[in-house]
A and B are shown apart, each in its own frame.
Chain A
């Protein structure tokens, strides 16, 4: 990389379109969020593992008015490649205002109960891989005293439940990591936002009973865009999940262990 490019990349962006790096850009929630940013003229760097889907998303966002759209195909489980991928992304954006981490898998709870490899895979994708990405991104932002790291965790991480505790524990780990990271870097001028969606109508929940009653990803996206703009620390979305999870967290374990949740 030339010194000019390094200098450019080092400049925090104060005016002009927002520069946003999206990891897991083919996710239902991510795509809905990017549509809002695109209509505001943002510059986007999109990463996803499926090239065909990624191309369709990128084309849509260009048409909607994104001022810049670049893409990279990557399996984010491949943590070895993260440093190369991320430095390519921020160079291509010539800086970064927001990193939005959205990828994740629900996994098969029943199978995970029998097979550790399944469990390990869920923990790797939902916890280890984001931690690897965040380690690089946090240091990049701290150097510049600028940027927001917006990361999708889940209400499922607030308390382990029999129906999805493997997924839940991966998100619990992620939420705890984000809380600690915030405590470390907020004072450096870097915002860390933990996003905890409740059940949302996306590919991840398709076919689940009552999924037609789940939150609309466009409404979820709107709240996420607003929370990032307001430099919030944490977002329960839809907001009703904040009081619900408060109650769920306070149920004593001796009662909780008997519930079918």
Chain B
């Protein structure tokens, strides 16, 4: 029975927003500060289902649950063990990668896989089986998670690894938080001797130069490109190919300073338009004056350039932003990327920063993991009611036609038929879903609502 006061209750709560700040939904927020807080929280749900969440760094609605219960895990950030021989670090699932780095870097260890922000939790990184600039050599994050504990709402606890409860291991990695609560996990860290990255930035013009650079860099650990999606003509698909390896020259392994800049307010809606974005893109392109730049760069600006400004998503104003990220397999990767980039450039809904990368063929451990060998492109769009959604829907259809798929962590728009075409294994996966757990994303793409 829904509680008659519930709407009032929900409205009073501080909203939990995803990074795109679209959509926003009321939900009851409960903080889990201890692993033992989960059982009472799941036993006393306010109404509807529940969803464990981390830092809300997913863009769309996969970390939201309209009118349900969000169990925020970030207070659960304790270390459990660290073995400097193997690099195995065990921690509660709410620990962020930033907190892990603060602990591990001074001890000479680094994350095996790093996303574009360090402000994500261990649990969130597993649930989306995130990828980084080293996907072509290291595969996804889940490959380096040697084990974790999964707690089901009926109280059952399962230790999951590649050899124990393998089916639950596979379903939970990339399982969008839906298989249950991850209480702790073990991550295999890798040794470093310096904070520095031997960096090289190379300008390219057009997809073929990008593909050549990709081939030439297959022995380099990290590769990623920024690409201009606003320009057409001779500047079409111009970009900067960025590559790097951990420096092997030892330097002091100090802790990163805390970020000082905070984007202070919601920018007025018009701040980001075609003109400002084009100016930015041109400036970024020419910041790299030479065709090739070689430098020793600290890992912070190399991996997390945007983390320097906390809450930079406010730059998009109150309306929020829409992310869009596809992976298209090699057979049609070139053709598909050109077609999609042309559609984006033509739309005039330019993307501020578009990120282009080749995924490698290291298999993902997750049943629902997003990456597959081919090209991935991530874009963001300011939300313009009558323009953005039709464009994104068309891009999703094109992705489908080219045999690709979209990333649920960066989606607020794919339709149920699109999702089911991208992830035909979804019905098999649904068997692993915890009966009390769901998300607004899952409800949207499967039409599956929990009975209240």
- Among the stretches B33-41, B129-137, B423-431, the one at the interface with A is B33-41
Q: How far is the CA of A133 from the CA of B80 in the complex (A)?
A: 31
Which residues of chain B have C-beta atoms less than 8 A from A211's C-beta? 14
B14 contacts which of A56, A63, A64, A212 (Cβ < 8 Å)? Answer: A212
Q: What is the minimal beta-carbon distance from A60 to any residue of chain B, in angstroms?
A: 4
Which residues of chain A have C-beta atoms less than 8 A from B81's C-beta? 59, 63
Which residues of chain B have C-beta atoms less than 8 A from A57's C-beta? 78
B80 touches A60 (CB 8 A): yes
- In the complex, which range does the number of interface residues on chain A fall in? 10 to 19
Q: What is the minimal beta-carbon distance from A218 to any residue of chain B, in angstroms?
A: 9
0/1 string, B51-87, CB within 8 A of A gives 1:
0000000000000000000000001001111100000
Starting from the known contacts A59-B79, A63-B79, 19 additional A-B residue pairs (CB-CB under 8 Å) come to A52-B36, A53-B34, A53-B36, A56-B34, A56-B35, A56-B78, A57-B78, A59-B78, A59-B80, A59-B81, A63-B80, A63-B81, A63-B82, A64-B79, A64-B103, A203-B75, A206-B31, A211-B14, A212-B14
Which residues of chain A have C-beta atoms less than 8 A from B34's C-beta? 52-53, 56
Q: How far is the CA of A193 from the CA of B75 in the complex (A)?
A: 28
- 3 pairs of A and B residues whose beta carbons are closest in the complex: A60-B78, A63-B79, A60-B79
Closest B residue to A53 using CB positions? B34
0/1 string, B32-50, CB within 8 A of A gives 1:
0111100000000000000
Which residues of chain A have C-beta atoms less than 8 A from B79's C-beta? 59-60, 63-64
Q: How far is the CA of A28 from the CA of B76 in the complex (A)?
A: 11
0/1 string, B367-382, CB within 8 A of A gives 1:
0000000000000000
Q: What is the interface of chain A, defined by CB distance below 8 A to chain B?
A: 28, 52-53, 56-57, 59-60, 63-64, 203, 206, 211-212
Count, A-B residue pairs, CB within 8 A: 28
Closest A residue to B81 using CB positions? A63
Q: How far is the CA of A248 from the CA of B79 in the complex (A)?
A: 41
Which residues of chain A have C-beta atoms less than 8 A from B35's C-beta? 56
Q: How far is the CA of A212 from the CA of B29 in the complex (A)?
A: 13
Interface centre among A63, A203, A212, by most chain B C-beta atoms within 10 angstroms, is A63
Q: 16 A-B contacts, Cβ less than 8 Å apart? A: A28-B33, A52-B34, A52-B36, A56-B35, A56-B92, A57-B78, A59-B79, A59-B80, A59-B81, A60-B78, A60-B80, A63-B80, A63-B82, A203-B75, A211-B14, A212-B14
Interface centre among B33, B78, B80, by most chain A C-beta atoms within 10 angstroms, is B78
Which residues of chain B have C-beta atoms less than 8 A from A64's C-beta? 79, 103
0/1 string, B144-185, CB within 8 A of A gives 1:
000000000000000000000000000000000000000000
Closest B residue to A211 using CB positions? B14
Q: What is the minimal beta-carbon distance from A152 to any residue of chain B, in angstroms?
A: 18
Q: How far is the CA of A212 from the CA of B31 in the complex (A)?
A: 12
> Does more than half of chain A's interface fall in helix, strand or loop, or is it mixed?
helix
Q: How far is the CA of A203 from the CA of B33 in the complex (A)?
A: 8
Q: What is the number of residues of chain B that contact chain A, defined by CB distance less than 8 Å? A: 14
Q: How far is the CA of A211 from the CA of B103 in the complex (A)?
A: 27
Q: What is the interface of chain B, defined by CB distance below 8 A to chain A?
A: 14, 31, 33-36, 75, 78-82, 92, 103
Closest A residue to B102 using CB positions? A39
Q: How far is the CA of A203 from the CA of B103 in the complex (A)?
A: 24
Q: How far is the CA of A78 from the CA of B82 in the complex (A)?
A: 36
Which residues of chain A have C-beta atoms less than 8 A from B80's C-beta? 59-60, 63
Which residues of chain B have C-beta atoms less than 8 A from A28's C-beta? 33
Which residues of chain B have C-beta atoms less than 8 A from A212's C-beta? 14
Closest B residue to A59 using CB positions? B80
Q: What is the minimal beta-carbon distance from A51 to any residue of chain B, in angstroms?
A: 10
Q: How far is the CA of A64 from the CA of B80 in the complex (A)?
A: 9
Q: What is the minimal beta-carbon distance from A61 to any residue of chain B, in angstroms?
A: 9
Closest A residue to B77 using CB positions? A60
Q: How far is the CA of A55 from the CA of B120 in the complex (A)?
A: 25
Which residues of chain A have C-beta atoms less than 8 A from B82's C-beta? 63
Q: How far is the CA of A63 from the CA of B186 in the complex (A)?
A: 14
Q: How far is the CA of A28 from the CA of B74 in the complex (A)?
A: 13
Q: How far is the CA of A206 from the CA of B13 in the complex (A)?
A: 11
Which residues of chain B have C-beta atoms less than 8 A from A60's C-beta? 78-80
Which residues of chain A have C-beta atoms less than 8 A from B14's C-beta? 211-212
Q: How far is the CA of A41 from the CA of B251 in the complex (A)?
A: 23
Q: What is the minimal beta-carbon distance from B70 to any residue of chain A, in angstroms?
A: 14
Closest A residue to B90 using CB positions? A63
Closest B residue to A56 using CB positions? B78
Q: What is the minimal beta-carbon distance from B75 to any residue of chain A, in angstroms?
A: 8
Closest A residue to B92 using CB positions? A56
Q: How far is the CA of A206 from the CA of B103 in the complex (A)?
A: 26
Q: How far is the CA of A116 from the CA of B187 in the complex (A)?
A: 52
Q: How far is the CA of A257 from the CA of B14 in the complex (A)?
A: 32
Q: What is the minimal beta-carbon distance from A214 to any residue of chain B, in angstroms?
A: 12
Which residues of chain B have C-beta atoms less than 8 A from A56's C-beta? 34-35, 78, 92
Which residues of chain B have C-beta atoms less than 8 A from A52's C-beta? 34, 36
Q: What is the minimal beta-carbon distance from B76 to any residue of chain A, in angstroms?
A: 9
Q: How far is the CA of A63 from the CA of B31 in the complex (A)?
A: 24
Interface centre among B34, B35, B36, B81, by most chain A C-beta atoms within 10 angstroms, is B34
Q: How far is the CA of A63 from the CA of B79 in the complex (A)?
A: 6
Which residues of chain A have C-beta atoms less than 8 A from B103's C-beta? 64
Q: What is the minimal beta-carbon distance from A223 to any residue of chain B, in angstroms?
A: 14
Q: How far is the CA of A206 from the CA of B79 in the complex (A)?
A: 23
Q: How far is the CA of A57 from the CA of B363 in the complex (A)?
A: 37
Interface centre among A28, A53, A56, A203, by most chain B C-beta atoms within 10 angstroms, is A56
Q: How far is the CA of A211 from the CA of B31 in the complex (A)?
A: 13
Q: How far is the CA of A211 from the CA of B14 in the complex (A)?
A: 9
Q: What is the minimal beta-carbon distance from B214 to any residue of chain A, in angstroms?
A: 40
Closest A residue to B33 using CB positions? A203
Q: How far is the CA of A64 from the CA of B107 in the complex (A)?
A: 11
Q: How far is the CA of A63 from the CA of B36 in the complex (A)?
A: 20
Closest A residue to B31 using CB positions? A206
Q: How far is the CA of A59 from the CA of B36 in the complex (A)?
A: 15
